[in-house]
Chain A
Amino acid sequence: MSNNPNNSGQPNKTQSILQEVDKVKDVMHNNIGLMLNNHDKASNLQDKTASMSNNARLFKKQTVTIRRQMWCRNMKLQLIIIAVVILVLAVILIPIIMKFV
């Protein structure tokens, strides 16, 4: 009579452990599912950020080109102004020089 409760106690412990392990397995399966979703999201994020980085590099190149164009135009105008000033001075000074000569 005393052996029966003692024997029935230990199988209950083993069964409870098995049940807990089953619960942990379910939780792990759910976690793996969530991790797969996160994997997809991280992959999308990586692709989008790579595209953004490429676009930023193109933006940088284009802005450098625009700056150079503006600088060239600025220099051209400066040269034109200098040339015009020289012409004006030449027109004014040549008669004076001719008078002296």
Chain B
Amino acid sequence: MSYVPLKQPLLEDDGSFDYEETLLSERNEQAKHLAQDIYHLKGAMDDLKMMVDEQGEMLVQADNNVTTADLEIEYGVEELEKAYVYKSRSKKRIIILVVVILLILAVVIGASIKFFVKK
């Protein structure tokens, strides 16, 4: 009677210990897996940050390009307006010049006619 109760508690302890050990092993593996996954996430986050920084620099440079282009086009438009003003003045002066030349020719022709009539 005293021998049989000694065996039974040992068997029960072994069974309980194996089960708990299995649970601990599984939990440990799951924790390692979780750590690896989070490490991969960290790598992904770092890559994402680097890409965002690069794109930020690209967009800033694009903005600078657009600003520069805007200023230069405005300056160019002003230059074109000035050129148009000068062209208009040139046209007016061409007309004046033609009129003056015609008047001179008229005077010369008149003088030559008088000279011819005089002879």
Contact = CB atoms under 8 A, between A and B. Distances in A.
Contacts of B79: 60, 63-64, 66-67
Contacts of B65: 46, 49-50, 52-53
Contacts, number: 141
Interface string B43-68: 01101100110110011011001101
Given A25-B41, A66-B80, A77 B94 contact: yes
A53 B62 CA distance: 10
B31 A14 contact: yes
B105 interface: no
Contacts of B80: 63, 66-67
A90 to B, nearest CB: 12
Given A7-B20, A46-B62, 16 more contacts: A14-B31, A25-B40, A25-B44, A28-B44, A38-B55, A60-B73, A60-B75, A60-B79, A63-B80, A66-B79, A67-B86, A70-B84, A71-B86, A73-B86, A73-B90, A84-B97
Interface of B: 20, 23, 26-27, 30-31, 33-34, 37-38, 40-41, 44-45, 47-48, 51-52, 54-55, 58-59, 61-62, 65-66, 68-70, 72-73, 75-77, 79-80, 82-84, 86-87, 89-90, 93-94, 96-97, 100-101, 104
